[in-house]
C-alpha cells in the first residue's frame, strides 16, 4: 500500500517553484499517494488536475506566507493568529489523510514544519529562495527550519551555504529534460525585420523588476556596447512586471530613451509557453542583481543549446561554466555585462560551441533522471528511519 504524502505550495501561479512542484508530483505519484495543499485555486491547480484527482488537491485560503510586511510591528498580531490557525488546520489534514511525509515546497511557508513535528510526522523543507535581505531574522528562521525538519533540500550549493554546513541540509539540483519544440511562433512583421537585421540577438525571460531581476543592467549594457561598436544588438524580453512594481516601466522607458534603443528592445509580456521563442535568440541573458537560487530559465536556455550570460552570484555560478557554456559578469555591473556580450559579438563561432556545451551540461549535471533518482532516494530515507 502506498504511503500518503503532502506537498505544500506557496502560490497558485505558474512560475519556477510551481513548475518544480509539478515535477515533484509526477515523480512521487508513481510510488506514493500524493496530496497537494495550495493557498488558492489558479493556473497551478488546473495543471495539477491533469495529474491528480480533485480530492487530492486541497485549498487552504488562509495559508500563511512570509512577506516583507510580516516584519512590521502592526502585523505581528495577525501573523501569529494566522500561524496558529494554520497549525490546527494542517494538523487536521495530516490526521484526516494519514499523511506520512509533509514536503514544504518553499521557504516562505512556516506552519507545515511545526504541524508535522507536533503530529509526529516527517518533514522535508525545499529551499528555493535566497534570504540575504533578512540578515537579522535569518539566524532565527534558519534555526526554526532545521529544528523542525528532517531534511532541508536546497536547489543549489549556494543556497545550502545559507545554513552554514548544517548536517540536515542537502543539495538537489532541479532536473530538466531536453525539450522537443514543434510549436510554430508568430511575431509582428516589424519585429521580424528588426531581428533579421541584427548582429546579435539577446533573449531574457523573467518577470520585470529593477535590481531584483536586473533588466536595467541588460538595457544599459546594450546601450554601452552599441555606442562603442555601432553594432545592431536586439533584445527580446519575455515577462510581465512584478505585481505592484508596474511603476518601474517609466524608469525602464527612460533608460531605453537615453541610449536610443527604442527599435532594439522588444517586450513580449507574459507568454504561457515561452520556449518556442527561444529559437529567436543567439544568447540568453539573466541579469539579476540579487542572487538567483537556481534560475529555471537559464536551464531552459541551456537545454535548448543556447550560450548563457548571468551574474556571478547565487546558483547561476553553478549553472554557468565560465568561458565554456557562457560567461559570468560582475553582479550589478552593466559595463562588465557589456564586455561579456561583446565576446559573443566579436566571436560569432563561439555561439554554437558554447550552446553545445550548455546542452551537454544539462544532460550531465541537471537531467530530470538524476533529479528523480535523488528525490526518490530522499523519500526512501524518510520512510526507512534506518537510512537516516
Query: Looking at residue 312, which CATH number applies to its domain?
Result: 3.40.50.2000
Buried b (16+ CB within 10 A) or exposed e, 183-220: eeeeeeeeeeebbeebebbbbbbbbbbbebbbbbbbbb
If asked whether residues 145 and 237 sit together in one domain, one would say no
pLDDT, average across residues 25-37 = 96
- Domain assignment of residue 184, yes or no: no
Per-residue pLDDT for 15 more than 90? no
Buried b (16+ CB within 10 A) or exposed e, 311-326: bbbbbbbbbbbeeebb
- Domain assignment of residue 181, yes or no: no
- Domain assignment of residue 38, yes or no: yes
Would you call 170 exposed, middle or buried from its count of C-beta atoms within 10 A (0-12, 13-18, 19+)? middle
- Domain assignment of residue 180, yes or no: no
Count of domains observed in the chain: 2
If asked whether residues 133 and 214 sit together in one domain, one would say no
If asked whether residues 282 and 328 sit together in one domain, one would say yes
If asked whether residues 279 and 219 sit together in one domain, one would say yes
Per-residue pLDDT for 388 more than 50? no
If asked whether residues 157 and 209 sit together in one domain, one would say no
Containing H/E element for 57?
Answer: strand 57-59
If asked whether residues 96 and 61 sit together in one domain, one would say yes
Q: What pLDDT is attached to residue 233? A: 98
- Domain assignment of residue 93, yes or no: yes
If asked whether residues 206 and 343 sit together in one domain, one would say yes
Helix (H, G, I), strand (E, B) or coil at 12: coil
pLDDT band at 385 (very low <50, low <70, confident <90, very high): low
If asked whether residues 147 and 40 sit together in one domain, one would say yes
Read off the pLDDT of residues 254-308 as tens digits, 9 standing for 90 and up. 999 999 999 999 999 999 889 999 999 999 999 999 999 999 999 999 999 999 9
C-alpha cell at 306: 543556447
What is the reported pTM?
0.89
Q: How far apart are CA 344 and CA 234, in angstroms?
A: 13
C-alpha cell at 241: 512586471
Return the higher-pLDDT residue of 131 and 70. 131
Q: Which domain holds residue 8?
A: 4-175+367-387
If asked whether residues 356 and 379 sit together in one domain, one would say no
If asked whether residues 110 and 228 sit together in one domain, one would say no
Amino acid at each position: 500500500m502506498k504511503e500518503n504524502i503532502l506537498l505544500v505550495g506557496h502560490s497558485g501561479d505558474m512560475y519556477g517553484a510551481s513548475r518544480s512542484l509539478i515535477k515533484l508530483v509526477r515523480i512521487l505519484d508513481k510510488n506514493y499517494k500524493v496530496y497537494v495543499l495550495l493557498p488558492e485555486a489558479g493556473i497551478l491547480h488546473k495543471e495539477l488536475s491533469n495529474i491528480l484527482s480533485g480530492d487530492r488537491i486541497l485549498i487552504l485560503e488562509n495559508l500563511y506566507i512570509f512577506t516583507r510586511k510580516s516584519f512590521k510591528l502592526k502585523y505581528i498580531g495577525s501573523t501569529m493568529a494566522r500561524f496558529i490557525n494554520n497549525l490546527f488546520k494542517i494538523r487536521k489534514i495530516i490526521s484526516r489523510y494519514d499523511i506520512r511525509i509533509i514536503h514544504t515546497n518553499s521557504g516562505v511557508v512556516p506552519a507545515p514544519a511545526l504541524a508535522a513535528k507536533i503530529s509526529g510526522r516527517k518533514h522535508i523543507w525545499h529551499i528555493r529562495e535566497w534570504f540575504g535581505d533578512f540578515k537579522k531574522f535569518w539566524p532565527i528562521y534558519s534555526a526554526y527550519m532545521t529544528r523542525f525538519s528532517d531534511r532541508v533540500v536546497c536547489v543549489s550549493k549556494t543556497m545550502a551555504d545559507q545554513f552554514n554546513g548544517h548536517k540536515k541540509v542537502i543539495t538537489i539540483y532541479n532536473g530538466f529534460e531536453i525539450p522537443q519544440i514543434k510549436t510554430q511562433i508568430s511575431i509582428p512583421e516589424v519585429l521580424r525585420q528588426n531581428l533579421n537585421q541584427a548582429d546579435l540577438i539577446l533573449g531574457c525571460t523573467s518577470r520585470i523588476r529593477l535590481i531584483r531581476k536586473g533588466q536595467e543592467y541588460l538595457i544599459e549594457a546594450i546601450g554601452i556596447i552599441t555606442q562603442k561598436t555601432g553594432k545592431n544588438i536586439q533584445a527580446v524580453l519575455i515577462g510581465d512586471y512584478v505585481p505592484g512594481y508596474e511603476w518601474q516601466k517609466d524608469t525602464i522607458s527612460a533608460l531605453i530613451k537615453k541610449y536610443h534603443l527604442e527599435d532594439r528592445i522588444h517586450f513580449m509580456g507574459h507568454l504561457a509557453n515561452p520556449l518556442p521563442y527561444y529559437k529567436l535568440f543567439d544568447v540568453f541573458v539573466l541579469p539579476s542583481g540579487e542572487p538567483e537560487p537556481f534560475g529555471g530559465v537559464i536551464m531552459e536556455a541551456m537545454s535548448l543549446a543556447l550560450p548563457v550570460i548571468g551574474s556571478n552570484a547565487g546558483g547561476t555560478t553553478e549553472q554557468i561554466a565560465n568561458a565554456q557554456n557562457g560567461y559570468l559578469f560582475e553582479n550589478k555591473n552593466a559595463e562588465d555585462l557589456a564586455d561579456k556580450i561583446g565576446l559573443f559579438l566579436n566571436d560569432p563561432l563561439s555561439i554554437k560551441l558554447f550552446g553545445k556545451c550548455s546542452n551537454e551540461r544539462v544532460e550531465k549535471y541537471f537531467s530530470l533522471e538524476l533529479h528523480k533518482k535523488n528525490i526518490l532516494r530522499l523519500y526512501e530515507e524518510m520512510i526507512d528511519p534506518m537510512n537516516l
